[in-house]
Amino acid sequence: MKAINQFRNDFENTLNMSEGIIKNIRSKAFEKFISEKFPTRKDEYWKYSDPSSILKLDLNYNDSGILENGNYDIILSNGKIVKTTTKLKSGTIAEGLNNGSIPKNLLKNEKNPFLNLNNAFAINGCYLILDSEEKKDIKILNLISNDGRSQAIYPKLIIIAKENSDSTIFEEIKVKGTGTNFVNSVTDIIIENGANLEHIILDDFAKDTYNISNICVKQKKDSNFISHNFSVGKKLARRDYNIELVGTGANCDLYGLYFVEGNNHIDHHTTIEHKKEHCTSNEHYKGILSGKAVGVFNGRIHVHPKAQKTDAIQNNQNLLLTDDAIIHTKPELEIYADDVKCTHGATVGQLDDKALFYLRTRGLNQKSAQQLLMRAYVGEIIDHIGNRNIRSKIMDIVLNRLPKGD
């Protein structure tokens, strides 16, 4: 229980760094976190992943950001804003609460302990307002810097897309330096009436990283959210998407690619709450696993009683390159309306032997043939990215990161 004691010490030592609204929110969030049981494999939601391994770490809070050069509009280092060149309205979470840009109930107590823990350390963070009727392309670097310590980092990003805005956000997560990292990150997104938001997230975590990531999205009437999630498994990598369609005519598309090799672990949970009528969702996630890696995908579509005329599709596909790789896949439908169209499915398989043989007969060696087939496999997801330059960059990075199958 080393980590719990250190969480408490760090919280008490940093509480006076906040004042006003955010101080009260932080106090209530930590009380909620500390009063409840830390999740383990015995909890259904964590059946195939073990977050209790985090409790054995000797962690210390760190927000000492460093400036990283790069062509980014916003740079966060260990959760702190170190660079911003955008003219959009932005600032720390405390500033956003004080000036009314962030609704206070956005940081309410949650059932998820990692959301409460993140709120308890909402000392810095960043909020971003995408103005009505405007079209923006924004690049964000979320940097984790470590000088060799065991550290806990709490990045927090709040994005509010105003009515009829049309924006693309490309967020890169990088780790610089060596050491053990516990990264507990939260991204809250509000998409107002008629707004369009495309969010691309690409991570590159270091070997000794435990990452718990929550992305929470609330969509209003006729809004559109397109998510592209590219993630690599490490010691423990868990990313949850929680989407609420609270306005008629809202649509979300979730696309994901995840890779894990060696003895690493990756876990994706997605929940789409269809709360109003005439909403649509489309979800397509693919994984590639090798070595003795473990992957988890749990996708849940929840159609509420008032959500008539729902159209929801969910699909998860997994490619195992070795006999020892394991995938746990569990697509779910929970439907309480009678006029809906919902489908879901999952596949697990290996590279097609006939396709490999065909390519070998055309002069390719075994490795090149495998790479070509995997390029086609990932291309189906990457091709959905709207921005051509980002799409090309992601393709190059993904091809370089593909598991080797050994």
SS (H, E, C) 67-117: CCCCCCCEEEECCEEEEECCCCEEECHHHHHHCCCCCHHHHCCCCCHHHHH
For residue 221, count other CB atoms closer than 10 A to its CB. 18
For Cα atoms 283, 285, 290, give the angle at the middle one, nearest 5 degrees. Answer: 170
Q: How far is CA 63 from CA 143, 202, 206, in A?
A: 11, 22, 18
| Cα dihedral value 367, 368, 370, 373, nearest 10 | 170
DSSP H or E segment with residue 356: helix 353-361
Q: CA–CA separation, 73 vs 85, rounded Å?
A: 5
**CB of 398 closer than 8 Å to CB of 374:** no
Q: pLDDT tens, 189-227?
A: 999 999 999 999 999 876 788 999 999 999 999 999 999
Q: How far is CA 290 from CA 208, 245, 259, 327, 371, in A?
A: 19, 36, 8, 10, 14
In single-letter form, the type of residue at position 221 comes to K
- Is residue 177 scored above 90 in pLDDT? no
Label residue 34 exposed, middle or buried (CB < 10 Å: 0-12, 13-18, 19+): middle
Query: What was the pLDDT predicted at 137?
Result: 93
Q: Report, as an integer, the average pLDDT of 342-350.
A: 93
Q: Report, as an integer, the average pLDDT of 318-341.
A: 95
DSSP H or E segment with residue 377: helix 366-382
Q: Report, as an integer, the average pLDDT of 244-272.
A: 96
Residue with tokens 């009437």: 221
Q: CA–CA separation, 108 vs 110, rounded Å?
A: 6
Q: CA–CA separation, 72 vs 86, rounded Å?
A: 9
SS3 state of residue 21: helix
Q: Report, as an integer, the average pLDDT of 312-330.
A: 95
- Is residue 31 scored above 90 in pLDDT? yes
Q: Which pLDDT band, with edges at 50, 70 and 90, does 360 fall under?
A: confident
- Is residue 401 scored above 90 in pLDDT? no
- Is residue 67 scored above 90 in pLDDT? no
Q: Which pLDDT band, with edges at 50, 70 and 90, does 405 fall under?
A: low
Q: pLDDT tens, 265-311?
A: 999 999 999 999 999 999 999 999 999 999 999 999 999 999 999 99
Query: What was the pLDDT predicted at 123?
Result: 93
Which residues share a beta bridge with 192? none
Query: What was the pLDDT predicted at 222?
Result: 98
Question: Mean pLDDT across the chain, nearest whole number?
Answer: 92
List the structure tokens of 183. 């990264």
For residue 54, count other CB atoms closer than 10 A to its CB. 21
For residue 20, count other CB atoms closer than 10 A to its CB. 10
Q: Which pLDDT band, with edges at 50, 70 and 90, does 406 fall under?
A: low
**CB of 264 closer than 8 Å to CB of 77:** no
Which one has a higher pLDDT value, 303 or 65?
303
Query: What was the pLDDT predicted at 370?
Result: 83
Give how far the C-alpha of residue 116 lies from the chain's centroid of Cα atoms, to the nearest Å: 17
Q: CA–CA separation, 154 vs 160, rounded Å?
A: 20
Residue with tokens 């740079």: 75
Q: Report, as an integer, the average pLDDT of 163-177.
A: 94
